[in-house]
Each structure stands twice: as structure tokens, then as C-alpha cells.
Structure 1
């Protein structure tokens, strides 16, 4: 990898790359869904871009170059996180109220499953069209990503997303629970 003399290219990097920070934050937030993680991802992106700025071809689309670095950094960190063993609290700490307060609120699906018997849920799922059943099974029971579900079912990603959304809406209706979706600001 060619090295870059940061003294010569520092001004051009500052002029070209730094104004794109807000765009990179929006893209990073789409991937991470967390403001702090998005900020960290953008910082990693700028660090990677700065160290490899000598490979950048002046006059080309620097935004696309930075977004590609951002996506590559996110993919690498995601892969690394999936290979790590999940850590959980055990012993007396798991029963402390402060620990429970830090956990996320349960999803609508978790509330439904807690309040209804297994048989009622099974009957409701059985009443769904076959395509919805399969997507919900793979996505919510087997914990596959929607991209993986789409590949398993040989359907487009958008179709998998739509079937899961509409299937969960129908389940909520059948089980008599309100459609409590968090508001997006």
C-alpha cells in the first residue's frame, strides 16, 4: 500500500473529505441504528481514509470513496461481533433491578408471546398465508437476517421485508394486541 505524505495532502483532505461528515453520519446511522455507534464508525472511516488518502484519485467522487470505506469498516466490525461469544451476566447481578433497568424494552412480539398461550400463537401463525409463515419462521424464530431469509426463500429482499411486516401486523390483529410501533422522528 502506498504511503501518503500527510503534510502535502492534509489541506486537500480537509477541504474535500471533512465537509462530508454529516452525510457519512446519516449513512452510518442507517447501518448501526445507534448514534454513538454511528459516530464511532465515522471516526474509524476518517482514520482509514486519512491513512490511505494516497490511493485516492483526485477528481473522482470522494463521497463514494468515503462511503465505501465506511461500509467496509461496518462489515468488518459486524463480522467480528458475530464471531464473538455472547457475554451475559450471571449469578446475583442478573437479579439486581439496576441491571434490568439497563435492558431494552420488550418488543411487541415479546409482549404478545408473554400474554398468550403457545397454542393461540401457533393457531394464529397457521392462519397466515404460507409465504408470511415462512418469513416469520426464519426471521423471528430462527433469527436469520431478512437478507438471509430472502436468499433461503429465493425472493427479493423487499418482498421478505414486506411479508414479515404484514405477517406481524396480521398476528397482532389476530391476537388482539394494539399495533404499538415506536414513532420515528
Structure 2
């Protein structure tokens, strides 16, 4: 099938796909974006479409997968920005860099907060904060993974309590 014919067949299914896009997004503008992205991917991957199969179904699968992938990306981005329960490097950096004077006090407070935590909690927390995984920390400190998770949780709770004045 040539590109012109394939494009016209894809376009013939756009109204049906638009109704699915509206069900997914519940917003007309987002649905139009999703439909456009689906049609573009359909054209881009036309070579992988098997002649004689259901074109509408194939496009629907592309739309569904595109929506799911976008939803996951958006959820991860929002979770990174809005989680208040976890004290992370990004959140500490935001609260600690308002200006140079506040930054100095904030860093002093963070250091005091870290010093106030028991070594058994602070050491696993620092490792976790540096990017180590739970199982790596457990192996290095010769502790059960559940204990490592508990110690990191206790350190977070202590830091949240000590640094509550920086909550926005």
C-alpha cells in the first residue's frame, strides 16, 4: 500500500480514535494532542502494519500505549516535585537556596539535624541519599534489608521533625 492511500485510511479512522482519546484524557485539547501523536506514530511505523489486519485496532493500540507512557512520565514528574513525605536532595536544595544568608543557616540546620540522628539510622540514610540501593546498603552494613529500610525511615522522620521550619 502506498503512503497516500495509507494516510487516507488512517485519516478515515480519526473520528473514532478521537472518541477514544476523549475517554482517555477527559479533556478536548489533550485528546487532540493524543490523536495527533497517534496518527504521527501510525504514519511513522506504517511499515510495521500487517496488511489485511485491523487498522483501527492497530491505531487504538498505538493510542493506548502512547497515553499510558505519557501518563507514567507525567506521574513520575509530579511525584518528584510534589512528594512531601520524603526529604530528598532536590527538596533540601530548594529550601536551602533561597538566598546566600538563608542558605548558610539552612545548611547549618541540615548538618545539625543529621548530627542529631543516631549513627545506626544516619549511616544507612546517607548511603541511600548518595544513591545506593537498599540491598547494597544491607550487604555493606551486614544488616537485613528490612532493618535498613526501617533505619532509613526513622532517619527521615527525625529529619522531618528537626527541619519542619523549612516546610513550605
Per the normalisation by structure 1, the TM-score is 0.41
More helix by share: 2
Structure with the greater alpha carbon radius of gyration: 2
